[in-house]
Amino acid sequence: MAVNYDKPERWKQDTLDSVDQYNSWFMAFVPDAFRTTRIETTKHVEQAILDSNNMLGLSPDLLRSHPGMLPTLRMSCCPPLAVDRLVGLAYSDKNLIKKMEESKLPKKMKQAALGLHLGRIMEVIRKLLDPDIFIWIPDRRTPTKAERYRASTIVADRLSGARANPIIKNAQESRQLALIECYLTGRGYRKKVHLSSGLLNTMEPGTFCFHFGVPTSKGAKMVSVSVDVLIQPHNPRPNKIPILIEAKSAGDFTNTNKRRKEEAQKANQLRATYGNDISYVVFLCGYFNAGYLGYEASELIDWIWEHRIEDLDQLGI
């Protein structure tokens, strides 16, 4: 029985309610999250400025000994450089730059080649370093403590903006899962690890678990499909396959329309393995409009709105 996908008359109001809910959470959570991230990032940026002799000692050897400094250097340029832009301008190796973004160097790259690439990267950084941020560089003087701190906060703001989205996404997912857990425990369910090697239909009634790798068949291979929540009702369905839920949140309409095909592919892979009557739904909070909902409905993917979590009961919970 469908819960929401066959009721388009509800979609517009549900979208408005969901957007309001997401925005309320965002306004309450994000200022603190961003502030905390910016404080920590400012410390790292200021240390990078000191390690580079106030940006006057930029060299390939500096990057070799401090590869994790690269994100700070990218954001110190005018304009700030994205990873792919730096790869192009420096005629460099994308894998090398990605490793450096993780504070590492590739183990298999020969030292001569590494030195060549680091030299190219640093040449681009030196040419594009923003003189409006590092105002002491034209005179090649030592900055005051206030000047160094001001420069650190500007670069940290740029870095924090780039890093805020993953922080927000993880916090929102944790909050959604906590809400589902509270709802289920209030109905007598127990959180219990289901062994990944076990079959889905062996899951104990009245239990649930998070982040389970569901084995599915893809051609002649078995591949694992990650699902956020598995729930085995107190009274299991005839096929004894648990309910599968994907937690989804979005702070704008653009990203939801980009991601909807991924969910359809996952649903089709699950159905190909476990049959068309498998219960796979998405748990939504945020910017999901008629374009997204219509696409999900066309793929026979149902959804539960976070602002109306009691709809979970209609799944047989």
Q: pLDDT value at position 198?
A: 61
Q: How confident is the model at residue 220 (pLDDT cuts 50, 70, 90)?
A: confident
Tokens encoding 147: 């000047």
| Mean of pLDDT values over 268-277 | 90
Which residues, at least 6 apart from 149, have a Cβ–Cβ distance to it below 8 Å? 42, 46
Q: pLDDT value at position 207?
A: 96
Answer whether 197's CB lies under 8 Å from 222's CB: no
pTM here?
0.72
Which residues, at least 6 apart from 257, have a Cβ–Cβ distance to it below 8 Å? 291, 292, 295
Rounded-to-integer distance, Cα 213 and Cα 224, Å: 5
Q: pLDDT value at position 286?
A: 93
At 278, the amino acid letter reads I
Rounded-to-integer distance, Cα 313 and Cα 309, Å: 8
Q: How confident is the model at residue 201 (pLDDT cuts 50, 70, 90)?
A: confident
Question: pLDDT digit string (tens) for 241-262?
Answer: 999 999 999 888 877 776 788 8
**Pairing mode, if any, of strands 190-191 and 280-286?**
unpaired
Domain ranges of the chain: 8-28+170-315, 35-163
Q: pLDDT value at position 30?
A: 77
The share of the chain scoring above pLDDT 90, in percent, equals 73
Cα–Cα distance list, 94 to 89, 90, 289 (Å):
11, 10, 36
The answer on pLDDT for 103 being more than 70 is: yes
Question: pLDDT digit string (tens) for 273-314?
Answer: 998 889 999 999 999 999 999 999 999 999 999 999 999 999
Rounded-to-integer distance, Cα 23 and Cα 286, Å: 8
| Mean of pLDDT values over 66-92 | 95
Sign, CA torsion 186/188/191/194: negative
Question: pLDDT digit string (tens) for 226-237?
Answer: 999 999 999 999
The answer on pLDDT for 197 being more than 70 is: no
Q: pLDDT value at position 200?
A: 86
| Mean of pLDDT values over 29-50 | 88
Q: What is the mean pLDDT of the chain?
A: 91
Q: pLDDT value at position 196?
A: 57
